[in-house]
A and B are shown apart, each in its own frame.
Chain A
């Protein structure tokens, strides 16, 4: 392994210049928001006749109904453009980087709102269901990206998330169906993911095999295996082995009664709540505890960690297996968390999208959450195309998450810095 050269670049130690670096990125975000504001104003605002209206339906199936929201597309867009511009100005004038990402995300949300109003012009769009759909799609992505964060913060690239998803979805459905107990299904999904995490750890850490190759082959293996077992085992006995119940929404008292937000956030699947709890846990553990400090040290500079008595390989084994468990639970959400039965290849590459969400989120849980929600929105948008009037053929909208991912990894949203030892095998000599 190569030791990291700590040669400092002179000049960085000066605090004002040090801040300038991140302020540069803040300015970039400000400029980006300004562009969005102008786009909103021109394309969505004055690009439509002033009389056009859009209707946002806000009715969730079980929840209380809110009367539909009818609005003039042009004036809503103008208002949102002004809001977006104000946020852009706020970013451009800021003297500290703290909280910038929150302001930026808010601006993006305003833009998307204007976009939706424009796309739904002359029609009615069920906004509530769309938001719910966004979260449904985002949920496995959050699990997947948290799995990636667990592994990569300790220095192991986990490109096998897709495979762990499949394994978790399969075993979750099968055990959930056969036992009739969905919690056993969740447990089975976790075990399946954990096993493939362990396989990755074993081959990569014990034998020093290339982590990306092993990861890709794990995906191939899981794809083949779940396809085989579906044909050979599930299909002949579909009613017992592949007909699990699904978790029904669990309304949280009081909170679920909040208009709009309530049904979206607090009348949901246990998988969504689980993701939220896990998100906070991983964040706190990683950045506030001794465990997290050690994990990050191992991911940044394993040799330094070793010289202070931290067992690099143990940390990595533990994290990669835990990461597999998390991805496995996320996989189970595909089956027993939404549609029940397992079907071959049902994860459709979302494991890779989760990995991109992790990169987008700069290897931080809440950053990944933002990315996952954005991807989830793009995915759920496809279901409402019939209603929407965007003039884009549906295959192109289906491409959106993948195009965004490429834009993200190409650094269009600012260069990201992965853990320094990410993907680098560690050996003592």
Chain B
């Protein structure tokens, strides 16, 4: 099946998210759509999948124009999509999720579970997508959930499979496995539209590349005839500094110390189990691992947003094991949370108010229980300039800012207190290149100023670029702590829970980690 997009334009108010996009996917081809966050890739895919409607342009299948009123139409015409945030019902079984909307039934609308199971097993075998049809999706690891998503598309006989940022949550080995599946699907004559911002992956798997920037197609490329730097320049629109510049660390005394930390979630399951960690002043300890292995909870415990069931957490001499978030804050913990819109900001409030969320009841922002709004406003304007937050004024609601500027508001607030320990969780997720560079620079500056930095990131490239030491978590435990020179493959295995102690140390010529890998 040949899929063509011709002149697709989609506007949101004044913003043109897609500006006359042309794109053709040939049968049996792995076509990469490359672009940085905010380039308009997801909008385009939502248009293609019938979730959004284009203002202009048309979609053609095998030369015939089609209109998709909703995803059901798109599915019927052979388009399948694996969403970045999986579209799975957590409390349903794998089989129920796969057949949802396409259910085999017996008389009177009763579900035919047996047929569902056998269909799934057949497809699983055919494409090497191993999964237990009766398992509940919420009990599956992320990699398996992704296989369920792919099965969902295949059982509907998708001829074109859209994969939206599919590698973000996978270990390097799982990524390799995914690429194998993609190639076998392509070999079976299905087309793949692979959306990503990761250059390495593009070059590894694509047959053809289309690059988007600021809502426009800015070029196409043949992966055999282009290198990472050229692709990056095309994607960002300027040449990008290749290396995260950072001096060797000058570690001081231990500031943050975790001993035997065990954290139990609401269901009574230990999500962090017996973790010991030390972070010294002036160093960045990067906590690597596939999302969902306890890193989030561990970071929250350091900020006292959760209290561990056992073990101790200390900052210098202060015991934060049973502390309140406020006590942690006062002890010098700065927290750039994983999800800025949920945990970091009040979107409906002004930038100025968000900047004092932590100090709103202290001088100079308040006196005797009354807020000094003039001071708050003045402080807002100062920080706007100091932290390069692009906004018309500090009175603007934070919800109206771009992701990068929202993150700068969080960073500005957290770094405006005296910082002993900086906890940064997924600090560049969803940001554009400029903001990524800015946030990285700020984190390194804090380190050089003498803060102990705990960086939590599921992006292996970010971990390698920023970490002075790297601790890898798997199922609530630290598998091991290594230097960045240990190399991508070894850390990847550790992320899957495998610690090969007798692995020979990698030879000296590891490629330097570049900013490009982080985009």
Contact = CB atoms under 8 A, between A and B. Distances in A.
Q: Do chains A and B touch in the complex (CB under 8 A)?
A: yes
Contact of A309 (B70, B91, B475): B70
A301 B89 contact: yes
Given A8-B141, A9-B269, A297-B100, A307 B87 contact: yes
Interface in B108-126: 108-111
Given A293-B100, A311-B70, A10 B293 contact: yes
Nearest to A306: B71
B141 A10 contact: yes
Given A6-B90, A6-B145, A289 B111 contact: yes
Interface string B469-482: 00000111000000
B111 A12 contact: no
Interface in A294-352: 294, 296-297, 300-301, 303-311
Contacts of A66: none
A11 interface: yes
Interface in B63-100: 70-73, 75-76, 81, 83, 85-92, 96-97, 100
B494 to A, nearest CB: 15
Nearest to A312: B70
B109 A291 contact: yes
B194 interface: no
A21 B268 CA distance: 7
Nearest to B342: A2
Nearest to B473: A10
B379 to A, nearest CB: 31
A300 B90 contact: yes
Contacts of B267: 9, 12, 21
B140 to A, nearest CB: 6
A24 interface: yes
A308 B102 contact: yes
A8 B268 contact: no
Given A5-B85, A300-B89, A311-B70, A305 B101 contact: yes
A4 B83 contact: no
A11 B271 contact: yes
A291 B265 CA distance: 34
A11 B109 contact: no
Interface in A374-406: none
Interface residues of B, number: 54
A49 interface: no
B138 interface: yes
B145 A300 contact: no
Contacts of B81: 307
B137 interface: yes
B138 A12 contact: yes
A3 interface: yes
Contacts of B90: 4, 6, 300-301, 420
A18 interface: yes
A288 B71 contact: no
Nearest to A24: B268
Majority secondary structure, B binding face = loop
User: Which of A306, A307, A420: most chain B Cβ within 10 A?
Assistant: A307
Interface in A4-30: 4-13, 17-18, 20-21, 24
B142 A293 contact: no
Contacts of A13: 135, 139-141
Contacts of A291: 109
B49 interface: yes
Contact of A306 (B51, B137, B152): B51
A6 B475 CA distance: 16
A11 B51 contact: no
A10 B294 contact: yes
B106 to A, nearest CB: 10
B139 A306 contact: no
Contacts of B271: 9-11
A18 B138 CA distance: 11
Nearest to B296: A7
A308 B151 CA distance: 13
Nearest to A6: B86
A293 B110 CA distance: 10
A110 to B, nearest CB: 29
A291 B141 CA distance: 29
A13 B52 CA distance: 35
B476 A10 contact: yes
B268 A290 contact: no
B239 interface: no
Given A6-B138, A308-B101, A303 B87 contact: yes
A21 B269 contact: yes
A428 B102 CA distance: 21
Contacts of B475: 10-11
B139 A7 contact: no
A40 B492 CA distance: 60
A317 to B, nearest CB: 16
B268 A307 contact: no
B89 A308 contact: no
A7 B89 contact: no
B407 interface: no
B292 A7 contact: yes
Contacts of B96: 293
Interface in A252-305: 288-291, 293-294, 296-297, 300-301, 303-305
Contacts of B75: 308-309
Contacts of B101: 294, 305, 308-310
A301 to B, nearest CB: 5
A429 B75 CA distance: 19
A8 B89 contact: no
User: Which of B83, B100, B109, B145: most chain A Cβ within 10 A?
Assistant: B100
Contacts of B97: 304
B282 to A, nearest CB: 32
Interface string B264-281: 011111110000000000
A354 B299 CA distance: 42
A297 B109 contact: no
Given A290-B103, A308-B102, A8 B270 contact: no
A300 B91 contact: yes
A307 B83 contact: yes
Given A3-B85, A8-B138, A9-B269, A428 B52 contact: yes
A305 B73 CA distance: 14
A304 B88 contact: yes
Given A13-B140, A13-B141, A311-B70, A7 B111 contact: no
Contacts of B76: 309
B291 interface: yes
Contacts of B135: 13
Nearest to A21: B267
A301 B87 contact: yes
Given A8-B292, A297-B92, A308 B71 contact: yes
20 contacts: A3-B85, A8-B140, A8-B141, A9-B265, A10-B293, A11-B269, A11-B475, A290-B109, A296-B89, A300-B92, A301-B88, A305-B100, A306-B51, A307-B71, A307-B81, A308-B71, A308-B87, A308-B101, A309-B76, A309-B101
Given A12-B139, A21-B267, A307-B83, 14 more contacts: A6-B88, A8-B140, A12-B269, A13-B141, A20-B268, A289-B108, A290-B103, A290-B110, A304-B87, A306-B71, A308-B71, A309-B101, A310-B100, A311-B72
Closest 4 CB pairs of A and B: A309-B72, A308-B101, A304-B87, A3-B85
Interface of B: 49, 51-52, 70-73, 75-76, 81, 83, 85-92, 96-97, 100-103, 105, 108-111, 135, 137-142, 145, 152, 265-271, 291-294, 296, 474-476
Interface of A: 3-13, 17-18, 20-21, 24, 288-291, 293-294, 296-297, 300-301, 303-311, 415, 420, 428-429
